[in-house]
Structure formats: structure tokens, C-alpha cells
């Protein structure tokens, strides 16, 4: 997987930092998306039943200016 991130270990981070506050912005930031296209940042979904991929970004500012690292299908 990209950057050695295990999605099982990432899920608690996602679940604890979504809906109200959005993902934690750091390096890296794991962002669940509704498809595998890294340029569609506005279409982020947080329901595990509908998301079919995750993308990993590095960003030290905000979610609108990430640096794409990679993605992987569930």
C-alpha cells in the first residue's frame, strides 16, 4: 500500500476526525474519497459502505491544497 499505511489502522483516525471537523491536517493526511481520482477533493465521503478507495495526501495547510501520494482500492 502507498506510504506503508494500513487501512485497518487508519480507520480509527478517519472515524475520529470526520463529519464535524474533517480529517486531521498533517503529514500524511488520509482522505476517504468516492473514487480513485485524486483531483476530486470536493467529493469526499466518510461512509465505509459507499467509499471504494482511499487516497493519502501530505498537506501542512488545508485540504484544498494537498500533495497527492497514492491510493489503493479496498
Dump pLDDT digits (tens) for 45-67.
333 333 334 445 444 444 444 44
- Please state the domain count of the chain: 1
Q: Domain range holding 54? A: 2-73
Cell readout for 36 is 480513485
Number of neighbours of residue 34 by Cβ within 10 angstroms: 14
pLDDT, residue 30, reads 53
pTM score of the predicted model: 0.18
**CA-closest candidate to residue 71, choices 59, 53, 49:** 53
pLDDT of residue 60: 42
Strands (E), the chain: 29-33, 53-58, 67-73
Phi, psi of 11, rounded to the nearest 5 degrees: -55, -45
Amino acid at each position: 500500500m502507498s506510504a506503508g499505511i494500513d487501512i485497518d489502522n487508519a480507520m480509527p483516525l478517519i472515524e475520529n476526525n470526520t463529519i464535524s471537523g474533517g480529517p486531521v491536517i498533517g503529514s500524511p493526511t488520509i482522505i476517504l474519497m468516492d473514487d480513485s481520482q485524486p483531483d476530486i477533493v470536493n467529493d469526499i465521503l466518510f461512509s465505509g459502505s459507499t467509499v471504494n478507495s482511499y487516497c493519502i495526501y501530505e498537506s501542512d495547510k488545508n485540504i484544498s491544497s494537498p500533495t497527492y501520494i497514492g491510493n489503493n482500492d479496498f
